[in-house]
Amino acid sequence: MNFKKILPQLLTLVVVILVFGFFSYNAQVNMENRGITFGYGFLSQESSFDVQFSLIEYDGSHSYFRAYLVGLLNTILVSVIGIVFATIIGVIVGIARLSNNYLIERTAAIYVEFFRNIPLLLQIFFWYFAALRALPLPEKAEPMFGVFFLTIKGFFVPAFVWNNLDIFIYSVIAAIIAIIFVRLYAKKKQENQGIQTPVLSISIGLLIILPLLSFFLGGVDVSVQIPVIEQLSKTSFTFKGGLKLPPELISLALALSLYTATFIAECVRAGVQGVSKGQKEAAASIGLTPNQVLKLVVMPQALRIIIPPTTNQYLNLTKNSSLAAAIAYPDLVLVFAGTALMQTGRAIEIVSITMLTYLTLSITISIFMNWYNKKIAIKEK
Amino acid sequence: MFKLVKRLTSVVAMFAVLFTFTTETMAAKKSKTLKNTQKKGFVRCGVSQGLPGFSNADAAGNWTGVDVDVCRAVAAAVLGDASKVKFTPLSAKERFTALTSNEIDILSRNTTWTLSRDADIGLTFVGVNFYDGQGFMVRKNSGISSVNDFKAGVSACTNLGTTTELNMRDFFNSKGIKYEPVTFEKADEVVAAYDAGRCDTYTTDKSGLAAQRIKLSNPDDHMVLPETISKEPLGPVVRQGDSVWEDIVRWSLNTMIEAEEYGVTSANADSMKTSDNPAVKRLVGAEGELGAALGLDNEWSLRIIKQVGNYGESYKRNIADTGILPDRGPNELWTKGGILYVPPAR
């Protein structure tokens, strides 16, 4: 009986192993026939190509592995920016679609229908080349607030130059830990004595005061470096100093977040509409304010509906960021599966690493979102 | 009566065995790629996604260019018809994979011959059909008249996955200039970004710069700097491990160049059969058995010259007359001050 039960699974396993075995054997034989060697040793070789934008120190004298890290971090950067903005825009538009105001509701609906029905790659091209056409050359850029310069060569912002940055970071971490304790304490107090504590204002206060103290006592010091224009030749200029965000990053993040936000907006709308009217009425009838109704009754239930499909959108956004290669944003696909692959010719190795990386990124997001979903799920006692 | 039939059959059988034996030795001489090509009836050729003068398709989908002519020459030699070529446009990134994974049989896509490419990734370069070098294009009004005028912070647009990317680094490093590389997968996007002002300079092979300049909104506002920062011998590539096919492609190219050297053109090729020069007679298949050595018939080279023309005709038709690079520079015959020099066909 037991044997009969596991037999199909055993057979499936054998088939899977055989299929994989066949393909890897086949690949091996073919590669041998064509004189291609296999190995990951190239990762430690000098890459000898440069990348225009990198979060860590990198140039061509570093290894291919370092180039991989550069690409990976750039992918993560644009994904995180995209996810944050897509969520903010998505929530706002989603709620706007539920508005009783006809104008707001229609505007949100048109936005959603427009942006989700145009292929993403086209939108990326549109934003990139539209940006390149519309943005001024560095010498003609009007400063925003005197220190920000949005030009065709990038968005130049003031950079912070830190002294004892680590102490500052520790103080922020300390503030966060303190906030967690305050919250726990407030919860207990409410359960035991029924007294509510103004947790939010205490948290904000902590977040300001502790890092501020680090300036006075910890020797933390910060100065601002403002970008200044520099002439490269008679007609060509750029900015020196400060921080530079390439236009590729800006247009890619913009396209990704505007596109994904439409889907998130629909998730939010579905979630809020999925909470039955009776819940709101019941909450109002026991004397909760409209704010409390939203925070304590509607949102917790709506989130249960919103989170799973939104997770999909986060995953999509991360994977869609690989379209970066089309507009020269140095993400993982462009740097590693593009330039590095071309320079080494190691297609199988590099593509396998890249696939595995995207898989890991996606699974990490999945695990986190599943954890969050479980946390807010109904806890039946 | 029966005896006779029996004897006859045995004789026939003997002949059959002999015949199969001889055809098999003939076939053994043929390469797998050659056999497949003859079975399919067309040559599978990888080209660029559109580089005027080298490989470019017109509105009707007809491919022209000096790279295209190499594939046409092989088709003329192997299949007897220069039009029997199936072109596959490839990005710089896709090109080698397409060749090693058997998607195409010849890669003729302005590809630079380097040691690591030749030795490492299962490829064999068969020759050079264009001697090129990397250069820079800038705006005329920028005041930059030489590569020595570049300053730190300069942004340079180029194609990713090319030797250009590496040369650019070597060049700027040797000058001690910090630069910003902006790399795109497709040439059209490089041109668009440079045109919009994203980059101060556009760098690639000089022939490429000359060809792409036409695509800019105001070609006359731009110029190519005089310096050449690298050697870029461009040539056709085949898969490693099929030496017969490799020889066919190599000698198809060599035939075109040698034909120019001996003054054999598509117009006069037939009349050259009665030439007094044995080298010319060999070239048009009127003397010697050179085709058999490649597993081809003896008219293979004649067909190349008649259908595609010699190298000079191809260059004039595709590069000089289109205004891309009227001056042949190093791509002139060695007898006329250039460096085109091919081993003799004999």
* Same-domain pairing of B104 and B241: yes
**CB pair distance less than 8 Å for B162 and A327:** no
The three-state DSSP-derived secondary structure of A234-254 is: CCCEEEECCEEECHHHHHHHH
The strands making up B106-107's β-sheet, listed across from edge to edge, are: B85-89, B43-47, B106-107, B237-239, B123-125
CA dist., res. A304 & res. B146, Å (int) = 64
Residue of chain B nearest A340, judged by CA positions = B161
B136 contacts B77 by C-beta, under 8 angstroms? no
3-class state of residue A224 by DSSP: strand
Return the number of other C-beta atoms located less than 10 Å from residue A291's C-beta. 8
* Same-domain pairing of B126 and B262: yes
Burial code (b: 16+ CB inside 10 Å, e: under 16) for A302-314 equals bbbbbbeebbebb
CA dist., res. A143 & res. A158, Å (int) = 12
Does any domain span residue B344?
Answer: no
B281 contacts B290 by C-beta, under 8 angstroms? no
* Same-domain pairing of B125 and B238: yes
DSSP A143: P
Does any domain span residue B214?
Answer: yes
Give Cα separations from A128 to A76, A113, A250, A275, B155 (angstroms): 20, 21, 8, 40, 17
* Same-domain pairing of B47 and B122: yes
Does any domain span residue B7?
Answer: no
* Same-domain pairing of B256 and B209: no
- Indicate which CATH number applies to the domain containing B288: 3.40.190.10
Does any domain span residue B195?
Answer: yes
Does any domain span residue B202?
Answer: yes
**Domain boundary, last residue among B211, B230, B249:** B230
pLDDT at residue B14, as a whole number = 54
A369 contacts A303 by C-beta, under 8 angstroms? no
Q: What H or E segment, with its residue span, contains residue B203?
A: strand B201-205
* Same-domain pairing of B201 and B266: no
Q: Which residues of A touch B162 (CB under 8 A)?
A: 342
Comparing CB atoms, the residue among A60, A153, A233 nearest residue B155 is: A153
pLDDT at residue B260, as a whole number = 95
CA dist., res. B250 & res. A248, Å (int) = 43
* Same-domain pairing of B106 and B64: yes
B313 closest CA partner among B277, B263, B254:
B263
| Tens-place pLDDT, residues A273-329 | 999 889 989 999 999 988 888 888 888 889 889 999 999 999 999 999 999 888 989
Residues of chain B falling short of pLDDT 50 = 17-18, 20-25, 27-28
User: CA Rg, chain B, in Å?
Assistant: 24
Is residue A53 scored above 60 in pLDDT?
A: yes
In this prediction the pTM is 0.78
DSSP A136: P
CA dist., res. B87 & res. B93, Å (int) = 17
Return the number of other C-beta atoms located less than 10 Å from residue A237's C-beta. 19
Tell me the residue range of the domain where B125 lies.
Answer: 32-131+234-336
- Percent helix, strand, coil in chain A, to 5, is 70, 10, 20
* Same-domain pairing of B266 and B293: yes
pLDDT at residue B30, as a whole number = 65
Rounded to a whole number of angstroms, the distance from the CA of A23 to the nearest CA of chain B is 14
* Class of residue B70 by CB neighbours under 10 A (exposed 0-12, middle 13-18, buried 19+): buried
Q: Scan for tokens 């491919």, then name that residue.
A: B63
**Domain boundary, last residue among B196, B211, B230:** B230
Contact status of B137 with chain A (Cβ, < 8 Å): no
Q: What H or E segment, with its residue span, contains residue A267?
A: helix A247-273
The CATH number that domain A64-135+247-376 falls under is 1.10.3720.10
Comparing CB atoms, the residue among A36, A232, A235 nearest residue B100 is: A36
pLDDT at residue B11, as a whole number = 56
**CB pair distance less than 8 Å for B142 and A129:** no
pLDDT at residue B340, as a whole number = 94
Contact status of A132 with chain B (Cβ, < 8 Å): yes
Q: Which residues of A touch B161 (CB under 8 A)?
A: 338-339, 341-343
Cross-strand bridge partners of residue B333 = B340
DSSP A379: -
Rounded to a whole number of angstroms, the distance from the CA of A113 to the nearest CA of chain B is 29
CA dist., res. A140 & res. B197, Å (int) = 13
> What single letter denotes the amino acid at residue B288?
G
Contact status of A322 with chain B (Cβ, < 8 Å): no
**Domain boundary, last residue among B180, B196, B230:** B230
Does any domain span residue B3?
Answer: no
**Per this entry, what is the length of chain B?**
346
Provide mean pLDDT across the span A105-125.
94
Q: Which residues of B touch A33 (CB under 8 A)?
A: 241
Domain ranges of chain A: 64-135+247-376
B257 contacts B345 by C-beta, under 8 angstroms? no
Confidence at A75, pLDDT banded by 50, 70, 90 = very high
Phi, psi dihedrals of residue A237, rounded to the nearest 5°:
-130, 165
Among A90-94, A182-186, A241-245, B27-31, the minimum mean pLDDT is found in B27-31
**Per this entry, what is the length of chain A?**
381
Does any domain span residue B279?
Answer: yes
pLDDT at residue B1, as a whole number = 53
Q: Which residues of A touch B92 (CB under 8 A)?
A: 342
Contact status of B142 with chain A (Cβ, < 8 Å): yes
Contact status of B327 with chain A (Cβ, < 8 Å): no
Q: Which residues of B touch A57 (CB under 8 A)?
A: none
Does any domain span residue B243?
Answer: yes
Inter-chain contacts counted by CB atoms under 8 A, chains A and B: 129
Residue of chain A nearest B150, judged by CA positions = A232
B241 closest CA partner among A92, A30, A58, A105:
A30
Return the number of other C-beta atoms located less than 10 Å from residue B56's C-beta. 21
**CB pair distance less than 8 Å for A342 and B160:** yes
Cross-strand bridge partners of residue B107 = B46, B237
**CB pair distance less than 8 Å for A48 and B180:** no
Domain count, chain B: 2
| Tens-place pLDDT, residues B48-98 | 988 889 999 999 989 999 999 999 999 999 999 999 999 999 988 888 889
